[in-house]
Structure 1
């Protein structure tokens, strides 16, 4: 028996948006329960499990998987570009490695290990209290400059989605993080304002990744013909084994072709 699971931009995006909405609502309710229902025994456990700003919980698992999925999609495109000897094949490869690193960083909070040494070095306070934004912001600026030509060569629809995803992710990850650092320095991380800011921050990051995944699958759909999993289940008399197959032919970018929405 054979079944096929097609990955379409609309279906995947709707599924991810629903997941993000559920996580944001659960995070908000869990944090409000800590502030307004402190006597409830399960409130702290609920908050630790679903707080978007906490580590090693349900939202962290989702973010890791979403970043890993992005890395796999980029790797698939990079492989097809490599077959075509495309001029920007290495850019796709490097993007795949970046998102793999972001996945590992999300799992281990690697960037936060920069805070203490940088805080001592800069004697930081206020908006730079979370000092990891200084070196990471510098690297992000270099990345944006080095990838400017790559972005401009993309189809118009893909370009717009990439820019929107980048704005959401960096705006949340660095912009709102700076505001969160200021609140952490002035009011403490136990304040309601800090909880709201961190919820917005993480929500923007997750939305940015959803937009990026939508852009990648739309790009694959237009220039490859789609991506899907073919699942084969052998019958009683079959000696075949179960496997999953992802087939991506070489990418060929037709001129004056826009992405399907």
Structure 2
């Protein structure tokens, strides 16, 4: 008995919702910055912490976690299809799905931030590595690139372009801007207007990177998969 099927024709209509939601959240964050740092009102009946990119367990945090989860689900669906046709790279898609699932969970729990303390205790690091977890993050990205280099080269050029751009945008925010903001936080001590702008750039780049990746996944599905049907049997 057929349980579900995926028609990739949803791309052109449905994926735009994510774009609009990101733009809305970005505007709300700017508005919260205006209230907090320009007018000096840090709460405004809960509006500021609800949309502040630097706050946790709020709407932007859940949005980031959800789009990472969407990526994980799409990757797993493609992996199942690839396995059904005995594609050599089906495991690569599955591993990517697990990585994005972990990132979705981590976005809510912030487990990676807990690594900074132990790393700084073990090593005498330069001050620029105030957020020391970026060292492990950079190492993980390099290892991932080495193992996925052949995978990337075997993708259609359009998909490879989406994936590479998405990766560069995401890493620029998650590693590059995070490193700079961490150093600035160490120097300035307080979270001032400059710091919150850095956080806005960092979080925006991370969200945009994932959104570009989702676009690439849907485009890949449109070009390579007409319909996916899965059957679950006792």
TM-score above 0.5, yes or no:
yes
Q: What is the alpha-carbon distance in structure 2 between the residues aligned to residue 58 and residue 165 of structure 1?
A: 22
Give the match for residue 255 of structure 1. Answer: none
Q: What is the alpha-carbon distance in structure 2 between the residues aligned to residue 41 and residue 145 of structure 1?
A: 45
Give the match for residue 79 of structure 1. Answer: 80
CA contact (8 A) 2:78 2:221 kept: yes
Normalised TM-score (structure 1): 0.81
Give the superposed CA RMSD. 1.9
Give the match for residue 23 of structure 2. Answer: 21
CA contact (8 A) 2:29 2:51 kept: yes
- Deviation of residue 127 (structure 1)? 2.1
Q: What is the alpha-carbon distance in structure 2 between the residues aligned to residue 183 and residue 201 of structure 1?
A: 13
Post-superposition Cα deviations, 1:209-256, rounded to whole Å, max 9, x if no partner, equal 111101111111111126xxxxxxxxxxxxxxxxxxxx448xxxxxxx
Give the match for residue 200 of structure 1. Answer: 201
Normalised TM-score (structure 2): 0.90
CA contact (8 A) 2:8 2:218 kept: no
Give the match for residue 31 of structure 1. Answer: 33
- Deviation of residue 50 (structure 1)? 0.7
Q: Secondary structure at the match of 1:43?
A: coil
- Deviation of residue 137 (structure 1)? 1.0
Distance 1:160 1:100, change over 3 A: same
Give the match for residue 3 of structure 2. Answer: none
Give the match for residue 158 of structure 2. Answer: 157
Compare the two structures and name the one with the higher helix fraction: 2
CA contact (8 A) 2:18 2:211 kept: yes
Q: What is the alpha-carbon distance in structure 2 between the residues aligned to residue 120 and residue 26 of structure 1?
A: 38
Give the match for residue 225 of structure 1. Answer: 226
Whether 1:138 aligns to 2:139 is: yes
Task: Single out whichever of 117-126 and 80-89 deviates more from structure 2.
Answer: 117-126
CA contact (8 A) 2:32 2:51 kept: yes
Q: What is the alpha-carbon distance in structure 2 between the residues aligned to residue 45 and residue 187 of structure 1?
A: 26
Q: What is the alpha-carbon distance in structure 2 between the residues aligned to residue 131 and residue 164 of structure 1?
A: 25
CA contact (8 A) 1:67 1:100 kept: yes
Give the match for residue 213 of structure 1. Answer: 214
Q: Secondary structure at the match of 1:8?
A: helix
CA contact (8 A) 2:115 2:132 kept: yes
Q: What is the alpha-carbon distance in structure 2 between the residues aligned to residue 218 and residue 11 of structure 1?
A: 13
Q: What is the alpha-carbon distance in structure 1 between the residues aligned to residue 159 and residue 190 of structure 2?
A: 38
Task: Single out whichever of 193-202 and 21-30 deviates more from structure 2.
Answer: 21-30
Give the match for residue 67 of structure 1. Answer: 68
Post-superposition Cα deviations, 1:110-142, rounded to whole Å, max 9, x if no partner, equal 100101111222344532110000111111110
CA contact (8 A) 1:70 1:213 kept: yes
Q: Aligned pairs, how many?
A: 225
Larger Rg computed on CA atoms:
1
Whether 1:107 aligns to 2:79 is: no
